[in-house]
Amino acid sequence: MASSERTQHQLQQDLEHQQQALLTSLKQAIAANECWHEHTENPEMNELLSMAKSTHEPSLCELATKLEKVDAAVCTLKMGMYGLCADCEEAIEPEDLLTDPTQARCRSCRAHSRYHHDHN
């Protein structure tokens, strides 16, 4: 029990590091793209995400999506809900969390949402 708590703590630190790194890259990429709102000196993460997405620049959108996933994972860790599916609240397959620590959905919900995307 104690060792698994330490692992979660380490994971949270790793993810918070990733989150900071992504935030920095996103700010730089947005500044380089000249879509920075001049009146926004210190934009919040949500503003950065919407700025990035409004550019329709694939690399910016990809960064924004990664940052969103990392942020969501950090939130679930803080709430003690880490490892539970965002849709059905069942446990996410542990090997999927090892492959992608920001994985927010179990396999069946992912399969379901992929099905939806294909038919949209």
Phi, psi of 84 (to 5 degrees): -105, 140
* CA pair distance 35, 38, nearest whole angstrom: 9
For position 88 contacting Zn ion by CB under 5 A, the verdict is: yes
What does the per-residue mask of binding to Zn ion show for 93-112, with x meaning CB under 5 A?
A: -------------x--x---
* Contact mark string toward Zn ion, 47..86, x via CB under 5 A: --------------------------------------x-
Applying CB under 5 A, the site for Zn ion has a residue count of 5
Residue number with CB closer to Zn ion (51 or 92)? 92
The DSSP symbol for 8 reads H
Helices (H), the chain: 2-32, 45-54, 58-79, 94-99, 107-118
Strand, coil or helix: 90? coil
Report the residue number, 51 or 83, with the smaller CB distance to Zn ion: 83
Query: Rule CB under 5 A: which residues touch Zn ion?
Result: 85, 87-88, 106, 109
